[in-house]
């Protein structure tokens, strides 16, 4: 079950739309240049190949168009973080869909092109307040697009790590939204104000029950960079590994977040 809901930060809908389109375009350009040998490499995500991971990226964006093809629900029920915490239950169905689409799609760039075109057409006709019907429930289009930045940024990093020499750029707005949403998810999962988590330049959140500081430097501080934070939150790197490799600094008795991570499994 997701943690109790509380208010999270707001996002500029126009910037998020642009970020989703830009990051999807970045991935498309990189995948277009991969050869068959590179596409056959293991992705690092279960038994998926790089090809299957690339197909999954198209599915995460096509989900926007498909949701807008459905009738509009009466009201939104899900918050931004609800969808993050509820995604694990659909992992098997998603994996089956990826394998089927990958097996039936010899031309990856054509798939990316169709997905990109459909997204542009649907977004041109739909306001951010439009409610969309998803597997997990209903939410606004504006919020759903923020969750797409998480999918795109996380899988951009997966692709970069899977293919030697690949360096897909990360759109700054997409990276910022992904970082902030995952930081807010931590604050919702472990409400409190005894620990401050800093992810410059994009996010600072307070979390974990305990004594609340009122001035000066808090007694428990965690600081890391956006990419390391995203990897921690999604299980791409373990807490102890990140600390040992000096990718995370953690001070204070309540600064150990190993029991709270990953947020998305």
pLDDT at 83: 82
Please give the average per-residue pLDDT across 152-181, as a whole number: 98
What is the model's pLDDT at position 1? 36
Pick the range with the lowest mean pLDDT from 3-7, 151-155, 160-164, 249-253: 3-7
Burial class (CB in 10 A: 0-12, 13-18, 19+), 190: buried
Per-residue pLDDT, 4 = 43
pLDDT at residue 95 in the model: 86
pLDDT of residue 89: 63
Q: Tokens 């390391």, residue?
A: 228
Residue 2 has pLDDT above 70, yes or no: no
Averaged pLDDT score across all residues of the chain: 93
Going by pLDDT thresholds of 50, 70 and 90, the confidence category of residue 3 is very low
Please report, for the domain that includes residue 244, its CATH number.
3.30.1050.40
List residues bridging with 48 in a β-sheet. Answer: none
pLDDT tens for 107-142 read 999 999 999 999 999 999 999 999 999 988 999 999
Say what the pLDDT of residue 93 is. 82
Domain range holding 140?
13-173
Count of CA atoms in the C-beta half-sphere (13 A) of 92: 1
What confidence tens digit (pLDDT) does each residue in 11-60 have? 999 999 999 999 999 999 999 999 999 999 999 999 999 999 999 999 99
Helix (H, G, I), strand (E, B) or coil at 216: coil
In a domain, residue 226? The reply is yes
Whether omega for the bond prior to residue 201 falls within 30 degrees of 0, making it cis, is yes
Q: Residue 5: name the closest of 76, 78, 74 by CA.
A: 78
Helix (H, G, I), strand (E, B) or coil at 170: coil
Mark whether 22 and 149 lie in a shared domain: yes
From CA 177, how far away is CA 182, in angstroms rounded? 9
- Examine the domain organization and report whether 31 and 156 are in the same domain: yes
Least confident residue range of 77-91, 98-112, 145-159, 178-192: 77-91
> Nearest CA to 226 among 159, 179, 177, 182?
179
- At residue 264, the pLDDT reads 81
Residue 140's Cα: distance from chain center in Å? 17
CATH classification of the domain holding 100: 1.20.120.450
| Calpha distance 192→148 (Å, rounded) | 28
Domain count, the chain: 2
pLDDT score of 26: 98
CA distances from 240 to 201, 220, 224, 233 (A): 23, 17, 13, 13
Q: Which two tokens stand for residue 3?
A: 């943690």
Task: Write down the pTM of the prediction.
Answer: 0.94
Contact 58, 149 (CB under 8 A): no
What is the spatial distance between Cα 75 and Cα 78, in angstroms, rounded to a whole number? 9
Do 18 and 66 sit in the same domain of this protein? yes
Tokens representing 170 are 């990360």
Query: With contact defined as beta carbons under 8 Å apart, do 193 and 214 qualify?
Result: no
Domain boundary among 131, 146, 173: 173
Q: In sequence order, what DSSP letters do the residues of 19-88 get, joined into one string?
A: HHHHHHHHHHHHHHT--HHHHTSB-SSTT-BHHHHHHHHHHHHHHHHHHHHSPPPSS----HHHHHHHGG
Question: What digits encode the pLDDT tens for the residues 197-221?
Answer: 999 999 999 999 987 666 667 789 9
Residues 77, 136: one domain?
Answer: yes
Residue 5 lies in a domain: no
Closest among 210, 237, 209, 211 to 224, alpha carbons compared = 237
> Do 230 and 153 meet the contact criterion of CB atoms below 8 Å apart?
yes
pLDDT tens by residue, 229-248:
999 999 999 999 999 999 99
Which pLDDT score is estimated for 82? Answer: 86
For the segment 70-117, what is each residue's pLDDT rounded down to a tens digit? Answer: 999 999 999 888 888 766 666 788 888 999 999 999 999 999 999 999
């Amino acid at each position: 079950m997701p943690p109790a809901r509380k208010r999270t930060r707001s996002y500029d809908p126009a910037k998020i739309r642009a970020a989703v389109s830009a990051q999807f375009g970045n991935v498309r350009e990189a995948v277009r240049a991969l050869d068959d040998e590179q596409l056959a490499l293991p992705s690092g995500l279960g038994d998926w190949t790089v090809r299957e991971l690339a197909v999954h990226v198209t599915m995460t964006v096509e989900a926007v168009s498909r949701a807008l093809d459905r009738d509009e629900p009466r009201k939104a029920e899900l918050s931004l973080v609800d969808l993050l915490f509820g995604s694990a239950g659909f992992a098997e169905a998603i994996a089956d869909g990826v394998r089927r689409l990958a097996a039936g799609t010899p031309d990856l760039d054509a798939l990316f092109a169709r997905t990109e075109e459909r997204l542009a057409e649907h977004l041109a006709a739909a306001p951010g307040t439009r409610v969309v019907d998803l597997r997990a429930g209903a939410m606004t289009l504006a919020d759903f697009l923020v969750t797409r930045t998480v999918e795109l940024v996380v899988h951009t990093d997966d692709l970069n790590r899977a293919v030697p020499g690949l360096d897909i750029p990360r759109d700054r707005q997409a990276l910022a939204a992904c970082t902030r949403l995952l930081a807010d998810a931590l604050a919702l999962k472990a409400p409190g104000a005894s620990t401050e988590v800093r992810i410059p330049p994009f996010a600072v959140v307070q979390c974990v029950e305990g004594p609340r500081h009122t001035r000066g430097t808090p007694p428990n501080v965690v600081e890391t960079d956006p990419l390391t934070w995203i990897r921690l939150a999604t299980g791409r790197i373990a807490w102890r590994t990140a600390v040992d490799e000096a990718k995370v600094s953690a001070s204070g008795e309540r600064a150990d977040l190993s029991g709270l991570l990953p947020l998305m499994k």
